[in-house]
Every structure is written in C-alpha cells, then in structure tokens.
Structure 1
Amino acid sequence: MARSKPADEFEIVVDGETYVWWLQRKPHWSSDPSERRGMAIAARHKEGQREAVLEFPVGPQPRFGAPQLKAAQIKPALVAKAIASAVAAGWEPLSRGKPVMIEVDETGG
C-alpha cells in the first residue's frame, strides 16, 4: 500500500537540491515534563525515498486560546537550516531505508 501524501507538502531548495517537507507533529505540552514533545517536520529529497524526521525542542507553552501551529507559519529558513543540519549529521537522502530521527535545536542547527 502506498504512503498517502500529506495535506500540506512544501518544496524547498537547500544547497542546490530540492526537498519536500511537511509538518509531522505539532508541539505537545503537558504538566508531566516527560510527556512534552516539540514540533517535528519530516523531509525527503524530491527524487529520493528516505525520510528524515527533524525534532525540535518543546519551547515555551503558548497562552491559552492561541491559534494552533500550521505548517505555512514555519519559516523556510528554519526548515532549510534543519535539513542542512540533518545532511551534515549523516542523513543520506538518496539512500533507501527507514526514516532517520534527528534532533535539532530551536534554530534548526
């Protein structure tokens, strides 16, 4: 069965290569610190199959009633830096295999 296409997929060029990325997980806050999770974006090379899941730190909790994060609100420069960091960390986007999980800092580095 083929993987379904995420609703909000975006293209970005990093170091001359075209990648496709999408918001995989919105930030999750909890009163239990062990259950807090930051935003995660998934990316793959436009011509490749192997995905990288780039996990960001949790960050501050928004005020009550703040709108939910949408993929279109994520700055392209942050995504580009996170993808470049993943490649530098050893992700081979044109290889085959399971998705790679990579933790990045709040700036994508």
Structure 2
Amino acid sequence: GMPAVQAHEQTLVAAALAGLAEVPGVRIIGPQTVERRSSPVSFVLDGVHAHDVGQVLDDAGVAVRVGHHCAAPLHRRFGISATARASFAVYNTLDEVDRLVAGVKRAVEFFGR
C-alpha cells in the first residue's frame, strides 16, 4: 500500500541526497534530510547553469527538469538563476539514482569544476 510507496520514495531520496552531497560543487536546495522533504530533489552545480547540467544528464539518459519550476520568486530569494530537479516515484530504482549522481559527476568533469 501507500506506506510501502512512501518508504520506497524515501529510500530513493535519501540515496540521492547522500550521493549528490559527495559531488564537489553541488548544493541541494531545500531540507537536507529525507524526513523533512518530499520526493523532488532540486540542486545547483556551482558555476554551471542548470540547463547545461540538464543537457549533460540528458546525454547520459537521465531525465531531470531544469529552470524555475514555476517558482521564480523562490529562486530569486535563494539568489539562483535556475535549478535542476530530479523527481522520484514508485517506479524509480536505486540504479537510476546512481545514474543521476554519475551524470552530475560527469557534468563536473566536463565543465572543469
């Protein structure tokens, strides 16, 4: 039932938060713990526009959204131009989280951060 769905999503989000936290230059936007957030994980990569991060991830077969996400005032409040956002659901896997993190690491290497 739904508790199992929630537990699965929290496992994915926890893995994404932990993996992205290890990537140099990545800043998670929002709460840093799974208990305080829902499944979307928004992040920025210092010195690299979110659209460029999104393109590198797309080239690696990882789907994320990039931009303001209908929250431009919030982005202004955080002083950022755009974010990349990975959203997780019942059909996602830990392997896909690993691919996300690997793709962000590839962006770091590509842009020399």
Bigger radius of gyration among the two: 1
Instruction: With the length of structure 2 as denominator, give the TM-score of the two structures.
Output: 0.29
Select the structure that is richer in strand.
1
- Which structure is richer in relative contact order (CA contacts within 8 A, separation 6 or more)? 2
Instruction: With the length of structure 1 as denominator, give the TM-score of the two structures.
Output: 0.30
